[in-house]
Amino acid sequence: MDISVAIVHYKTKELLAECLKSIFDKTSAINFEIIVVDNKSQDGTIEMLKESFPQVKLICNYKNLGFSKAVNQAFKLSQGDYFFILNPDTEIVNNAIFELFNFMKVHPEVAVAGPRLIFPDGKVQMSCRRFMTLSVAILDVFPINAYFSGNIFLKRFNYGYWKHEYIRGVDWVTGAAFMTRRDLYQKINMFDERFFIYAEDMDYCLKARKAGYKVFFMPEAVVMHYHAKGGTQFTYSRKVDYYQSLYLYIKKNLNSFKAIIFRISVVVWAFIYLIIRLIETPFLTREKESVIKHLQIPLRLLMWKGHEA
């Protein structure tokens, strides 16, 4: 088996069906298998897969175990020499899986190769980045990056100074779509399952780089990504999940002091955010239940309550 495609799914049945169809329609010249790990979606996905895609291997979890654990589950069932992680909110545009496979076969020094991701309108989606620093993480918290997307820190972090049109070595590529080697995935202990969701891809690429391998962006392989619709869509706990993962990454790969500074910045922003929401509340023409939901993000940030809440 050349390639094992691992898809972690959570409540996006229609997108998953289109994703699978695109893989079968667009992929040629290689032998591949597909493994779907369903994190207890309960949306008819299991029935859809059994009826429309019986050749797909399926793992059904009793609860949402998160992204990292589910990917590792798929890996343990896989047989391919290469392991391709793919979000369910994607569609293969060209023979992208073969392009990544062929590139990695020619370049044994490459641990991870990521395709060019595009939005549905065809615009390039930033999918490769430099490793996270404390300054970029804090700017993201407050959220300077959201309102001033042209700031030099974010541009540097996202490789925003070059057009994503040629092959380039990068620090890491997003886990929405990336290929790695089976033997390496085992060697560096797979995805760190302490990351429920987010930052596990950055952490894995850092481990690969430390092991002496390279990470590459491969624009010849093209994948369309709806973004934030593949089980990571917005919920009130997801913001906390994201910051918890950044905190873990900083503590693990930078140092504990920087992790504490980051956690303090999250608390400060949560207080500011809560005050803003409380000031807005009397002017909202919403029902009581809606107002309570309006306060969920800052309250959850203060209580540090993510997916396990």
CA 284 distance to own-chain centroid: 34
Residue 265: is its pLDDT beyond 60? Answer: yes
Across the chain, what does the average pLDDT equal? 92
- Label residue 148 by pLDDT band (50, 70, 90): confident
User: Helix or strand or coil: residue 29?
Assistant: coil
Share of the chain above pLDDT 90, in %: 77
**pLDDT for 232 beyond 60:** no
173 Cβ contact partners less than 8 Å away, ≥ 6 residues apart: 112, 113, 114, 127, 128, 129, 201, 205, 215, 217
Take residue 88 and report the two structure tokens written for it.
């369910």
Please determine, for residue 218, whether its predicted confidence score (pLDDT) is greater than 90: yes
Q: Which residues contact 117 (CB under 8 A, 6 or more apart)?
A: 90, 124, 125, 127, 174, 176, 177, 223, 224, 225
pLDDT at 309: 40
Query: How confident is the model at residue 231, as a pLDDT?
Result: 52
d(CA 287, CA 16) in angstroms, rounded, equals 35
- pLDDT more than 70, % of the chain: 92
Residue 295's pLDDT is 80
The residue with greater pLDDT, 173 or 145, is 173
pLDDT at 19: 98
When comparing pLDDT for 113 and 144, which is higher? 113
Structure confidence at residue 235 (pLDDT): 60
Q: Over the stretch 45-74, which tens digit does the pLDDT of each residue have?
A: 999 999 999 999 999 999 999 999 999 999
pLDDT of the residue at 71: 98
Asked if pLDDT for residue 303 goes beyond 70, the answer is: yes
Bridge-partner residues for 178, per DSSP? 85
**The pairing of beta strand 168-170 with beta strand 177-181:** unpaired
C-alpha–C-alpha distance, residues 11 and 89, integer Å: 11
Could you tell me which residue, 309 or 38, shows the higher pLDDT? 38
C-alpha span between 86 and 88 (Å, rounded): 7
pLDDT at residue 284, rounded to an integer = 59
How confident is the model over 6-54, as pLDDT tens digits? Answer: 999 999 999 999 999 999 999 999 999 999 999 999 999 999 999 999 9
| pLDDT, mean of residues 226-233 | 62
